[in-house]
């Protein structure tokens, strides 16, 4: 093709250009905490992580978010869906002209604290929405069924719907969570009872069903993990139009089990891949997630690359703006070095690592270049 005058050009030998990757679940404010949580049992792991976070300052969180975002660019990721309670990732995305959804977390297991929790959430989100751009959305995240009361779920869901805010929730992640919601037993139930918190009135319900009864599921909702889910749960997700962030390596590290990936795809649920935090996986490598997902559902290389790109964009509700390289979309792309070894291009891309990323562009602007 003829080159327009005054436009710089690069020759990238042995490289493939593809759409920028979409990471549908991160906790970038936790960057730097790799290897610091020692407990293996999940409920204890959660408590230990919360204790570590309590020692961090706003400056720590912002520095971590900036580093985490840079790591994403270096791995070919151009859009992130991040959940956190410090607000640091929204700032880091805004100051760098970044792309994604910053979900402000809210906690509150006791129903008596629901109104106060939602008022505090509204104040923080109102402040953060000043950072919104055409590429940066501010959302809300009632954290999980084991940290949020049914009343708080309802209040947050109703407010998010009224304000047209994207919503994300960790749900159906662990056997301990399923035990807690379905039967009111297990380590999470013991923790609530020790604090004098009444157990949720969810006996006999799955976590997905529990969310549905409180109006949480919608086409603006992103369900994170979705491991402990049955066929009726998949139908509920599809009927509500909810998206799912699948994090296979984190699920494996925590021994949560294998998510019903093939069933989610067969049900037509909007689905993308996420890395979760470095506390769980230690390296934000979305293509490693793709390789793990491929093994779970016997998918082709092309199919799992779709989950990293356009599938992830659809899961976040921005598939008409990014996720593929077509006229009219944001110019998000990544160049990955994949020397010819006789395999298909898709297979070579899937086998690559962040060290093979040559350049990453966000909206046509270079945000990463390998040395």
**pLDDT tens for residues 137-154?**
999 999 999 999 999 999
Cα angle 17, 19, 22; round to 5: 135
Is residue 1's pLDDT more than 60?
no
pLDDT in tens, 4-28: 777 777 788 889 999 999 999 999 9
Residue whose tokens read 């006789």: 342
Could you list the residue range(s) of the whole structural domain that residue 253 is in? 19-328
Distance between CA 10 and CA 340 in Å, rounded? 20
Distances (CA, A) of 8 to 3, 235, 252, 356: 9, 50, 44, 22
Distance between CA 190 and CA 195 in Å, rounded? 9
> Does any domain span residue 6?
no
Cα angle 285, 303, 315; round to 5: 70
> In this structure, what CATH number is given to the domain that contains residue 87?
3.20.20.140
pLDDT confidence of 2, banded at 50, 70, 90? low
For residue 113, how many other CB atoms are within 10 A of its CB?
Answer: 16
> Does any domain span residue 212?
yes
In this prediction, residue 8 carries a pLDDT of: 74
Per-residue burial over 307-338, b = 16 or more CB atoms within 10 Å of its CB, e = otherwise: bbbbbbbbbbbbbebbbeeeeebbebbbbbbb
Distance between CA 243 and CA 271 in Å, rounded? 6
Mean pLDDT for 241-256 is 97
Distance between CA 345 and CA 226 in Å, rounded? 31
In this prediction, residue 38 carries a pLDDT of: 84
Is residue 331's pLDDT more than 80?
yes
Mean pLDDT for 274-282 is 95
Distance between CA 335 and CA 348 in Å, rounded? 13
> Does any domain span residue 96?
yes
pLDDT in tens, 91-141: 999 999 999 999 999 999 999 999 999 999 999 999 999 999 999 999 999
Distance between CA 3 and CA 260 in Å, rounded? 48
What is the side-by-side strand order in the sheet with 243-246? 21-26, 77-84, 100-106, 136-142, 167-171, 221-225, 243-246, 270-273
In this prediction, residue 39 carries a pLDDT of: 81
Q: Do residues 209 and 234 lie in contact, with contact meaning Cβ atoms separated by under 8 Å?
A: no
Is residue 321's pLDDT more than 80?
yes
> Does any domain span residue 5?
no
Distance between CA 148 and CA 110 in Å, rounded? 7
In this prediction, residue 76 carries a pLDDT of: 98
> Does any domain span residue 289?
yes
Mean pLDDT for 317-332 is 96
Token reading at 272: 């993308």
Distance between CA 285 and CA 326 in Å, rounded? 25
Tell me the β-bridge partners of 79.
Answer: 22
Distance between CA 93 and CA 78 in Å, rounded? 11
Residue whose tokens read 């779920």: 153
Distance between CA 105 and CA 7 in Å, rounded? 43
pLDDT in tens, 177-227: 999 999 999 999 999 999 999 999 999 999 999 999 999 999 999 999 999
> Does any domain span residue 303?
yes
pLDDT in tens, 158-189: 999 999 999 999 999 999 999 999 999 999 99
In this prediction, residue 93 carries a pLDDT of: 98
> Does any domain span residue 253?
yes
In this prediction, residue 45 carries a pLDDT of: 92
pTM of the predicted structure, to 2 decimals: 0.96
Nearest to 244, CA basis, from 255, 228, 256, 252: 228
Q: Do residues 118 and 158 lie in contact, with contact meaning Cβ atoms separated by under 8 Å?
A: no
Mean pLDDT for 61-80 is 98
Report the domain count for the chain: 1
pLDDT in tens, 37-65: 888 899 999 999 999 999 999 999 999 99
Q: Is 183 helix (H, G, I), strand (E, B) or coil?
A: helix
In this prediction, residue 13 carries a pLDDT of: 81
Token reading at 23: 């990471």
- Measured over the CA atoms of residue 230, residue 234, residue 237 and residue 240, the dihedral's sign is negative
What is the phi/psi pair of residue 145, to 5°? -60, -20
> Does any domain span residue 337?
no
Residue ranges of alpha helices (H) inside 164-206 are: 175-183, 187-194
Q: What DSSP string describes 36-102?
A: -----SHHHHHHHHHHHHTT--HHHHHHHHHHHHHHHHHTTEEEEEEEESSSHHHHHHHHTT--EEE
In this prediction, residue 10 carries a pLDDT of: 79
């Amino acid at each position: 093709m003829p080159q327009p005058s005054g436009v710089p050009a690069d020759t990238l030998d042995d490289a493939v250009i593809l759409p920028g990757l979409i990471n549908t679940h991160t906790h970038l404010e936790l960057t730097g905490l790799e290897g610091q949580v020692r407990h293996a049992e999940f409920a204890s792991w959660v408590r230990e992580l919360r204790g570590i976070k309590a020692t961090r300052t706003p400056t720590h969180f912002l520095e971590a978010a900036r580093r985490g975002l840079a790591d994403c660019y270096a791995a070919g990721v151009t859009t992130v869906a991040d959940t956190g309670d410090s607000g640091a990732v929204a700032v880091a995305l805004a100051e760098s002209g970044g792309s994604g959804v910053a979900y402000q977390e809210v906690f509150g297991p006791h129903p008596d604290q629901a109104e106060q929790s939602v008022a505090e959430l509204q104040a923080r989100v109102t402040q953060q929405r000043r950072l919104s751009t055409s590429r940066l959305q501010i959302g809300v995240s009632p954290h999980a069924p084991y940290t949020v009361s049914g009343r708080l779920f309802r209040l947050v869901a109703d407010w998010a719907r009224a304000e047209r805010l994207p919503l994300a929730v960790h749900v159906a992640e662990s056997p301990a969570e399923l035990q807690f919601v379905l039967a009111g037993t297990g380590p999470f139930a013991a923790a609530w009872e020790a604090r004098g918190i009444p157990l949720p009135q969810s006996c006999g319900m799955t976590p997905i069903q529990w969310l549905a009864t409180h109006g949480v599921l919608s086409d603006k909702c992103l369900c994170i993990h979705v491991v402990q889910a049955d066929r009726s749960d998949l139908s509920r997700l599809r009927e509500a139009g909810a998206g799912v962030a699948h994090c296979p390596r984190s699920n494996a590290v925590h021994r949560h089990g294998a998510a019903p990936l093939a069933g989610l795809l067969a049900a037509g649920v909007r689905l993308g891949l996420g890395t979760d935090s470095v506390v769980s996986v230690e390296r934000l490598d979305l293509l490693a997630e793709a390789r793990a997902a491929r093994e779970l559902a016997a998918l082709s290389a092309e199919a799992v690359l779709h989950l990293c790109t356009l599938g992830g964009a659809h899961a976040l509700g921005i598939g008409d703006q990014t996720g593929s390289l077509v006229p009219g979309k944001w110019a998000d792309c990544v160049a990955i070095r994949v020397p010819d070894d006789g395999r298909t291009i898709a297979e070579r891309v899937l086998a690559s690592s962040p060290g093979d990323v040559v350049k990453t562009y966000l909206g046509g602007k270079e945000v990463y270049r390998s040395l």
